[in-house]
Amino acid sequence: SEFDRIIAINLRGVYLCMKHELRQLLAQGDGGTIVNLASTNAFRPQPNQAAYTASKHGVLGLTRQAAMDYAARGIRINAICPGTIETPMVTDMIAKGELSVPDAVANQPIGRLGRSDEIAAAVLWLASPASSLVTGVALPVDGGYTAR
């Protein structure tokens, strides 16, 4: 049941959002941009996170497939893959003892956790004309975590 819950939220949720976003973008007829959120787990799985990792792999598959299917219609579709970001979810993981700040920081070559505004800046760039040739990309925003 936990696997089904995680897949329903992380993968089916993205699929359903894209379904309606694409319907609207196609109706408008002037292209557009979709930015999905995946995770660095899609590149580097973590112990005991099979459902989460599978869901994020699925998000990348949906992103890449849709990017191929809709590029000719002027719709760009990409994904952001955040590393460990200071969010309520991470705060909760720390409180439960599932994650320690020193371990999380040690895994990020930049030497600190990410901030939500840094993820927002990457999303804004992907949604802007400055990234007009970018589609089907999974962009890690992770302080160098996936570069290791």
Residues labelled catalytic: 52
Which parts of 64-109 are beta strand (E)?
75-82
Distance between CA atoms of 23 and 111, rounded to whole angstroms? 42
The residue type found at 55 is S
Buried b (16+ CB within 10 A) or exposed e, 94-130: eeeeebeeeebeebbeeeebbeeebbeebbeebeeee
> Would you say 77 and 63 are in contact if contact means Cβ atoms under 8 Å apart?
yes
> Would you say 49 and 56 are in contact if contact means Cβ atoms under 8 Å apart?
no
